[in-house]
Chain A
C-alpha cells in the first residue's frame, strides 16, 4: 500500500462524497427493512421513524408466511438464479476460452456477434420468446426462465471472461498440452482456477438482475408453482388496496439470499474488478 501523504482536507472530501453515496444507496433498503417491522398506521404516519415499542409489529411477516407459498417462491427464485448462474458461467467461460485461445476464421466477428447482446435488451424479443416457449411446451416451467436468463447473461460473461482469459499465459497451456492434458482438462484444470476472480465478478453481475426480474416470471411462468419471490410479492399489491406490511416484509426477506451469495463472491469480486489496475 502506498503511504503517500494526502492532505486531510482532500481525504475529508473524498470520505464525505463516499459516505454521501453510501447513505443514498442504503437509504431505500434501510427504509424498507425498518418499515417492515411497523404496523400499518405507523408506516404511513411516521415512515422515516424506526419502530418503537408501540409501533413494532410482525404482522407483515406473518401475512407473508401464511398467505401463499412463500417458501416455495424462494425456492423457485433460488433454483432459477443458481442454475442460470451455473450455465452462464459454464457456457460463457467455454465460449470465452474458444474465442481467446483458438485462431479460426470469423473469430473476431463471432466475438462481436456475441457482444451485441450487451447492447440489445433481451426483452425486445419477449413476444417471440413467449411464442417459442408455448410451442415447446415450456410455459409455466422454471426451465423456461433458466433458458432465458442464461441467454441474457451470456454476452456480458463472454465479453468479460474472454478479456481475462487472454491474460492466462500461453506457455502454461502449452505445458499442459505437452503433459498430455486434453483441451477440456486445460480449460477446467488450468484456466478456470486462474480466472476465478473474473468468474465471481460475472456471477454477481448476472445474479442481481435475475433475482430482481419481474418481467419474465410474469410472462413465462406466472403459475402458482413456478412463481418467483418478486412475482409472489405482487400478490400484496392490489389495484385498490395494497398490503404494505406484507410487501415490505417480502422484499426484506428477498434481500437476504442475494446478500449471502454476494458475501460468498465478494472477496473474489474485488480482486476481479481491480485486476490489472493493481498488480
Chain B
C-alpha cells in the first residue's frame, strides 16, 4: 500500500542544479531516511515527492502510479514539518481533522480517526487547545497526529526533531519508531543528524551535492562505506583518514580507520604518538593524538581510562577493519 519509485529526478532552480538525477526504490512499509549535509538537496527531494516542488525532469511513482502531475493532496501522502506548521487559529482537534474534512469525510468518521490518533499520541487532554497554548513537543505530536489521521500511503518527515531540545528529541524519536512499528506504514524522513538516521532507519540514503552517495542499512553504511564521503559522514567521532603513502600502501590513496577500531598501549604498538587532548564521556574516552606516522588521530576507548595530555602512547589499528579508498575516493575491496 505504500511503495515509492523515483527515476532520474532532476531539479534546477534557474541554472543551479540541486538534484542531479536521483533513482530510488522504497518498498512498502520501509523506513527510509535521507541524510546529508545542509544544501545537499534532501529537503528538495522530499518536496518533490510531496508535490510541493515540481521536478525539472524525472518520474515519481507512488504505488506504481505516476503522480508527477497529481496535486499534493491527492497523492496519498502526509507530511510533518520542522516548524510544525500547525494552523494557529484552529484547535488541536480541528488541526488534525482538517485534511479529512477537506476530503469530504463524514463528521463521525473524522471524530473517530482524530480520537484514535490523539489517544495513540496521548493528546486527549489538549484537543480543545490552540497550538499557541502547547509546548514544542506537544505541537510536534499534534503535527504527527495530523499526519496519522490522514492514513496516508507515505509519511514524509522534514527534520521533525530539529526544533526540539535534546531530551525531547530522544523521546519523540522513540515515539516515531514505535509509530512506524504499529502503523507498518512507509515513512520517508529527512535529517542532517546521523544519529537519528542510524537509530530509526531500515534504509539510509546518503545524499551529497544533489546525488546519492550510497543506499544501505545503517550497519552496511557503517561497516562498508562505499566512498570517503559516506565513511566520513556516518559514525561519530568521524573516521580517521590517513594518506595511504604514509603507511606504505601505493595502491590506495586514502586509508580510513574508525576511532573505535584502534587500541592504545603505553608500551608498544604500530604508531607512536603524543596525547593532545582527552575527552572523558563516562562510557567512552576520546583521545586526540599527534602521531609520527599518521598525523592527527582520533581514538575512542570504551569505559574510563586515565591518560593525560602529553603522555606518550602507541596506537594500533585493527587491520581487518581498515578501509582503503582509491584515487576516485571510492572504496577498494
Contact = CB atoms under 8 A, between A and B. Distances in A.
Interface in A161-190: 169, 171-172, 174-181, 189-190
A169 B86 CA distance: 10
A178 B83 contact: no
A175 B73 contact: no
Contacts of B77: 178
A207 B51 CA distance: 41
B78 interface: yes
B87 A177 contact: no
Contacts of A194: 88
B89 A180 contact: no
A174 B73 contact: no
A174 B88 contact: no
B52 interface: yes
Contacts of A178: 50, 52, 72-73, 77-79, 99
A181 B85 contact: no
| Most chain B CB atoms below 10 A, which of A169, A174, A176 | A174
A180 B78 contact: no
Given A178-B99, A179-B99, A179-B102, A172 B85 contact: yes
A172 B139 CA distance: 13
B73 A179 contact: yes
A103 B78 CA distance: 24
Interface in B68-100: 71-74, 77-79, 81-89, 98-99
Contacts of A106: none
A29 B236 CA distance: 72
A177 B73 contact: yes
B71 to A, nearest CB: 7
Nearest to B147: A178
Contacts of A181: 73, 98, 102
B283 interface: no
Contact of B82 (A171, A176, A177, A179): A171
Given A174-B79, A174-B81, A180 B87 contact: no
Given A193-B89, A194-B88, A177 B83 contact: no
Given A180-B99, A180-B102, A181-B102, A175 B81 contact: yes
Q: Please give me the 8 A-B residue pairs with the lowest Cβ-Cβ distance, nearest first.
A: A180-B73, A180-B102, A171-B85, A179-B99, A175-B85, A171-B81, A172-B85, A171-B83
Interface of B: 47, 50-52, 71-74, 77-79, 81-89, 98-99, 102-103, 146, 150, 158
